[in-house]
Structure 1
Amino acid sequence: MLKAGVFLDIENLTRNGGWGMRYDAILELVETQGASVLRANAYMTVDRRRMEEDERYKAKIEQYHQVIRRTGFRLVLKQVKQFVDAEGNPRLAGSADLELAVEALMQAENLDYILLGSGDGDFLRLVKALQDRGKRVDILSFANCGDELRDEADHYFAGPLLPNLLPPREEEGTHRGFMHHVDEERGFGFLTVRTGYGKNDIRDDIFLHINEFSEEGEQINNTRFASLRDKRTIIEFDIEEQEGGRVRAVDAVEYQPSIAQRQTEND
C-alpha cells in the first residue's frame, strides 16, 4: 500500500469554489487510490489582530479550524501582514505557500504518493521536484487551475466532479460532468460523470440534447454547444431515467462555483 501525504492550500481551494468541501472526503479520495494517509496538512492564513478585536469573527474562524482538525488534518497557520497601498488604503497580504512547499519536500522522503490541493501554478516546480524524487503527485483543485500544473500532475482531480466532496445545492442540478462527445450539427452530446473516487468509477453514457442546456434561461446555438466539449466546461444537471436503462440530462447549466459562504466569512 502506498504511503500518502495530503497538502492543501486552503486559501486557493476555497477562493476558487471549494468552500464547504468535506475534508473527510479528501482523505477518502486518497485511500481509494490504494494509499494509507500518513500526513494530512492544511495550510491557511489567519488575521490574529482581527481575531483579538472581533469576537464574532474569532468564533467563526476557530469553529472552522476545528472542523478541519476533527477530520484528522494538521492545521498550519500563517499570520497575514498589514500594509498601506499606493492610495493610502489599508490592505492585508499573506500566503502559506512557502510553508506548504518546504514541508512537502521534507516529508516526501517517507511518502510514495502526494495529493496537492491547489490550482496555483506557482507549485509547478514543487510538483516536478517531487516527481524527480520518484513520487506520484496528483492535483486536486476547483476553478482556475493552471494548465501547466494540471498537465504536469500524474492525475488531476476536478473538485466539482467528485461526488459528495461539495455540499449539494438544492436549487441547481444534482449531478456534475463534462461533455466528452458532441455532434454539433445535430445538437447533442454525451456526458461523463464520476460515480466514485476510483480510477474506473465513471459513467459516460448520459445523453444531453442542446434543448436541455441553457445560459441565463436562454437556449444556445450549436457552435456554443460544441464549445462546451472543447473547453471541458463543467455542466450541472438533473438525470431523467428512460426505457432500456438509458439516461438523459435535463435542466442543464454551466456549473458556477458558489462563493456566497466565503463572502459571509469575510464580513
Structure 2
Amino acid sequence: MIKCGIYLDVENLIRCGGRGMNYASIIKFVEAQGAKAFLANAYMAQDVEREAQDYSYRIKRKENRAWIRRQGFRLVLKRVQRFSDEDGEIITKANADLDLAVDALQQSTNLDYILLGTGDGDFLPLVRTLQSHGKRVDLLGFQNVSRVLQDEVDRFHSGFLVPGILPLENGRFRGVLHSIYEDKGYGFLACYCSPTASFMRDDVFLHINHCRVENGEAVTMATMVEWKNQQTILEFAIEEDQKNRLNARNVSKANVHAGKVETKKASS
C-alpha cells in the first residue's frame, strides 16, 4: 500500500483560484491513484482579533473550519499578526509555511508519497529535501503556480482539472488542448474522464465545429492554436461513438489557466 500525506497551503490555494474547493475530492484523487491518505493537513490563517469583534464573521469562519474537518482534514491554524509599517499602515500577516514544512519533514518518515497543495515557490527546498529522502512529491495548484516548483516535483496536478475539486455543471468536463492539426480543423484534448480517474487521457477528439463562439465571434484555428499554446482550460461534454472513441461537444473556454499539464495515454 502506498502511504500518502496531504499538506495544503489553504491561503495560497484560495487566493490563486481555489475558492470553493471540495477538500474531500482531493483525498479521493489520492485514493484513485492506489494510495491511502494517512495524513491530510490543511494550514489556515485565523484572525482571532477580528473574530472576537465580529460575531457574524466568527460564525462564518467556524462553520468553514468545521466543514473542512468533516471533509477529512486536520486543521493547523496560524494566528494573524498585525504590524505597523513606517507609514503607520497596519500590515496583517499569517504565514503557515514553516509549520507546513516542519510537519511534512517530520511526518514523512513513514510516508511514500507527498501531495503538496500550493503555488508558492518558497517550498522548493522542502520538495528537494523530501525527494532526496526517496519520497514522491506531487504538486496541486491553481493559478500563479511557481514554474520552478512545477518543474521540480514529480507531477503537477491542476486543481481546475482534477475531478470534483471545483464545481462544474453536471455532465461537463475540463481539459486542455495538447495537439492540433491546423489543416484539418481538429485536435485532441487531455482531461480526467471520470471522477475516479487516476490519470489524464489525451485522446479526446475535438473538432472546431463543436467549439462555441467567443464574444459573438466564431472560433477559428488561430483561436485553437492560442488555446494550445497558452494551455487554456476548456469546458465540454463528452460523447462516445460506436468505436468507443471520445468526442468533445459544446466546447467553450473556461476563465482559468492550468499551468503545465502532464498526460498519460489510455486505450479505454
TM-score by length of 2: 0.85
Aligned partners of 1:98 and 1:140: how far apart in 2? Answer: 18
Please show how residues 248-259 of structure 1 align to structure 2 within 5 Å. Answer: 248-256=248-256
Structure-1 residue corresponding to 2:117: 117
Unaligned runs of 5+ in 2: 258-268
SS in structure 2 opposite 1:125?
helix
Question: How far off its partner does 1:232 sit?
Answer: 1.7
Please show how residues 79-118 of structure 1 align to structure 2 within 5 Å. Answer: 79-85=79-85, 87-118=87-118
Give me the CA root mean square deviation: 2.4
Q: Which amino acid aligns with 1:114?
A: I
Please show how residues 118-197 of structure 1 align to structure 2 within 5 Å. Answer: 118-169=118-169, 174-196=172-194, 197=196
Change (3 A) 1:224 1:244: same
SS in structure 2 opposite 1:128?
helix
Change (3 A) 1:217 1:243: farther
Question: How far off its partner does 1:84 sit?
Answer: 3.2
Question: How far off its partner does 1:142 sit?
Answer: 1.2
SS in structure 2 opposite 1:134?
coil
Question: How far off its partner does 1:214 sit?
Answer: 4.1
Aligned partners of 1:165 and 1:175: how far apart in 2? Answer: 12
Q: Which amino acid aligns with 1:108?
A: S
1:16-40 alpha-carbon deviations (Å, 9 max, x no partner): 1212211111111112222222211
SS in structure 2 opposite 1:160?
coil
Q: What's the % identity of the aligned pairs?
A: 43
Aligned partners of 2:213 and 2:89: how far apart in 1? Answer: 42
Aligned partners of 2:239 and 2:38: how far apart in 1? Answer: 42
Structure-2 residue corresponding to 1:261: none
Question: How far off its partner does 1:233 sit?
Answer: 1.6
Change (3 A) 1:99 1:210: farther
Q: Does residue 225 of structure 1 match 2:231?
A: no
Work out whether residues 232 and 256 of structure 2, in 8 Å CA contact, stay in contact via their aligned partners in 1: no
Change (3 A) 1:18 1:208: farther
Number of positions where the alignment pairs a residue of Structure 1 with one of Structure 2: 255
SS in structure 2 opposite 1:236?
strand
Aligned partners of 1:72 and 1:147: how far apart in 2? Answer: 29
Structure-2 residue corresponding to 1:207: 206
Q: Which amino acid aligns with 1:206?
A: F
